[in-house]
Amino acid sequence: MNGYSFIQSTMQGFARAFAKALQSEQAASENGLLQALDPRVRVVGILMMVISVIMCRRLEIIAAMLMLAVVIAVLSRVSMASLAKRVWLVVLGFTGLIALPALFLTPGEPLFAVPWAHAVISVQGLKAAALLVLRVETAATLTTVLVLCTQWAHILKALRSMRLPAEIVTMLAMTHRYIFLLIETANQMFESRQSRTVGTLDGSEQRKMTARTAGVLLGKSIALSHEVYLAMLSRGFHGEVYLLTDFRLHAADYVAITIFAVASGMAIWVGR
Amino acid sequence: MHIPDGYLSPSTCAALYVCSASGWYAALKRIKGRLHTRTIPLVSVFAAFAFVVMMFNVPLPGGTTGHAVGVTVAAIVLGPWGSILAISIALAIQALFFGDGGITTLGANCFNMAVVGSFVAYAVYQAVATRSARTSRRRIFAAGIAGYAAINASALLAAIEFGIQPTFFHDAHGAPLYAPYPLHVAIPAMMLGHLTFAGLAEAAISAGMISYLQKADIGLLGGIKDFPDVRQALSAPAAVSSQGRLWGVVATLMLLTPLGILAAGTAWGEWSAADYAKSERRAQIEASSDRNAAPPAPPAGMKQLSTVWTAPFPNYAPRFIRSAAFGYVMSAMFGVGILLLASLLFKSLLVHSPSGKGPSRVST
């Protein structure tokens, strides 16, 4: 790998993070099902569904939950293409690869013998692999739909209303804000380095360059934290954090949370 | 190493959430105790830094690349407690905002990488670096070893968490319900990638950053206590200890109050109306007033006012206590108590403590 492709791949990672954030902002502003609900109902409802998927032990019930997640995504105007690209293919590629050997390694009743590989797929192996892939797909779909349909600030307020300490919520909010600033700073440093790189850097030089960039970023982060601290002090910060949670539940929210609870409860009960 | 939802059973997730929550609680208490108001911006921005560093592609020998976690540098600069918070926040945002790593497995990921990773990195770094100078090459080596050890310790924990799943969680026919590989498969499979690539990536970025900081910003290697503004924040405990010393002085003075009764006579000007009638006191007044004789009778105003208020402890000694010295100490304690109560009342009237129900006061 030459210096160019190594820097390029890091910068592509930065661009993907920005694209994801932008996609979330756009999807969250759509007029869909989830977007119309109170953020607390969205967070709690989807969280209940994810937990029910994790607790469920039957393939067909998990498949039904996946279908429900897809219906929620469609009604919330989440693009199926982006969901497939962002979740389904990624999970299939990663978890599918991890689950594949389980077909052969899991001891149990033989189902199918692969003649050229001298290996036997067991019933238990097939179920284990299918359960893992399906469960991860369903949970990731639900989580992604929630993330896409909810502004970050609303997720934080919902977490706060679930009694997460105010300090933690504030730190999550600040971190999220400065992630994009630091990504932009790191991106500019890499761009600057790339524009001054002629020829091929050897591995040692590439590592030194990465570490130096990280070191500069650390120094800038500490300086930034000091500036933020002074700004907070100037606004009267004295160590106590207060956050407004001005959400109001409507009739539709009560109906939605009931549906989420019933669906999750049934999945756990039937799929036990 | 970011475990997604679905790989671990609900009970494993719950147990690891409890473990992580204990770490978060202890970390928050400790670092808030040390830094107070500086905690939130420092940990937040450091978490953002760790998040970005996790996105760096670190070139490795053999032409491949790996991703570091940044836990070693966090543990060296912020200390293990600050590192737990910063790395946990970064992992939480990865899970909640970017969908990297699960929500039900966030406790497991934080326990593996943030809690255990931070302590292993800090302990190994301290053990290898010992008391070497900040500019010593030994510290670069120590950071590399610490990074390698921390990532592999975290990976080993994740492998164990995966490996116990088929043993404890399977259906009636023996099909694993979660991660399907037992310990003897999960551990080698997980460790192979981390002993070779991920561990090296963390070692390279940690050692490289320490080397860079030794040349460019050596102050950061002293930890948060050496940051200029944090040093100011750290003076808060010193203020507490000086307050403690002040209380010691007050207590000593209270105990020394019997010395007051060793002084002869009455303090100049503190005479009572009855003193004018006593020849012994009149002689004292004359002696202490540059030989000017006291008037034959007390002034009329003084005589009139002396009956308006009678002190509860006349001459600093309650009537029911016979020992003058003990009475003096009792009077001192009573007087200090009254003053403290008055001060607290005065403070509560002047300083309005913030109420938890008020609107948002802090905009970060």
The whole-angstrom distance between B312's CA and the closest CA on chain A is 43
pLDDT of residue B238: 45
Q: Which residues of B touch A213 (CB under 8 A)?
A: 56
Of the given ranges (A119-123, A158-162, B48-52, B358-362), which has the lowest mean pLDDT? Answer: B358-362
Cα distance between residue B26 and residue B35, in whole Å: 14
Q: What digits encode the pLDDT tens for the residues A28-85?
A: 878 888 888 988 899 999 999 999 999 999 999 999 999 999 999 999 998 898 889 8
Residue B99: which of A47, A140, A173 has the nearest Cβ?
Answer: A140
Contact B151, B199 (CB under 8 A): yes
The whole-angstrom distance between A3's CA and the closest CA on chain B is 9
The amino acid at residue B157 is: L
Question: How far is the CA of A7 from the CAs of A270, B57, B80, B116, B286, in angstroms?
Answer: 51, 8, 31, 31, 97
The whole-angstrom distance between A255's CA and the closest CA on chain B is 25
CA B243 vs. chain centroid, Å, equals 18
Cα distance between residue B77 and residue B120, in whole Å: 14
Q: Which residues of B touch A103 (CB under 8 A)?
A: none
Residue A232: which of B4, B46, B362 has the nearest Cβ?
Answer: B362
pLDDT of residue B46: 87
Radius of gyration of chain B from its Cα atoms, rounded to whole angstroms:
35
Burial class of residue A36 (count of CB atoms within 10 Å of its CB; 0-12, 13-18, 19+): middle
Average of per-residue pLDDT values in chain A: 86
Q: Which residues of A touch B354 (CB under 8 A)?
A: 238, 240, 242
Say yes or no for a CB contact (<8 Å) between B209 and A140: no
Residue A6: which of B44, B65, B73 has the nearest Cβ?
Answer: B65
Answer whether residue A227 shows pLDDT above 60: yes
The whole-angstrom distance between A114's CA and the closest CA on chain B is 20
Q: What digits encode the pLDDT tens for the residues B30-67?
A: 877 766 677 788 888 889 988 888 888 777 777 677 78
Q: Which residues of B touch A105 (CB under 8 A)?
A: 180-181, 185
Q: Please, which pLDDT band fits residue B87 given cuts at 50, 70 and 90?
A: very high
Question: How far is the CA of B4 from the CAs of B127, B151, B230, in angstroms?
Answer: 34, 18, 37
Q: Which residues of A touch B51 (CB under 8 A)?
A: 175, 179, 182
Q: What digits encode the pLDDT tens for the residues B317-332?
A: 666 666 666 676 666 6
Q: Which residues of A touch B166 (CB under 8 A)?
A: 106, 128
Cα distance between residue B348 and residue A102, in whole Å: 68
Q: What digits encode the pLDDT tens for the residues A98-119?
A: 888 888 888 888 888 877 777 8
Searching chain B, which residue's CA lies closest to the CA of residue A129? B180
As for the ipTM of the complex, it is 0.87
The whole-angstrom distance between A115's CA and the closest CA on chain B is 23
- Among B45, B71, B173, B351, the strongest candidate for a mutation testing the A interface, having the largest count of A CBs within 10 A, is B45
Q: Which residues of B touch A91 (CB under 8 A)?
A: 4
CB atoms within 10 A of CB B217: 15
- Whole-structure pTM value: 0.74
3-class secondary-structure state, position B317: coil
Strand partners, B170: B176
The whole-angstrom distance between A249's CA and the closest CA on chain B is 20
Residue B358: which of A171, A239, A242 has the nearest Cβ?
Answer: A242
Q: Which of B211, B96, B138 is nearest to A158 (CA)?
A: B96
Q: What is the mean pLDDT of residues A184-211?
A: 85
Q: Please, which pLDDT band fits residue A234 given cuts at 50, 70 and 90?
A: confident
Q: How long a stretch of residues is chain A?
A: 272
* Comparison of pLDDT for B333 and A74, the residue scoring more: A74
Tokens of B251: 């207590």
What does the angle CA B187 – CA B191 – CA B197 come to, to the nearest 5 degrees? 165
Residue A221: which of B5, B45, B179 has the nearest Cβ?
Answer: B45
Of the given ranges (A22-36, B7-21, B143-157, B246-260), which has the lowest mean pLDDT? Answer: B246-260
Sign of CA dihedral A46, A51, A53, A54: positive
Q: Please, which pLDDT band fits residue A236 given cuts at 50, 70 and 90?
A: confident
The amino acid at residue B124 is: V
Cα distance between residue A173 and residue A169, in whole Å: 6
Q: Which residues of B touch A171 (CB under 8 A)?
A: 40, 43-44, 47, 85, 89
Residue A171: which of B7, B40, B354 has the nearest Cβ?
Answer: B40
Radius of gyration of chain A from its Cα atoms, rounded to whole angstroms:
23
Say yes or no for a CB contact (<8 Å) between A211 and B209: yes
pLDDT of residue B240: 47
* Largest interatomic CA distance in chain A: 74
Residue B103: which of A143, A217, A239 has the nearest Cβ?
Answer: A143
Tokens of B56: 């760096």
Instruction: Indicate the angle between helix axes B137-163 and B71-96, nearest 10 degrees.
Output: 40
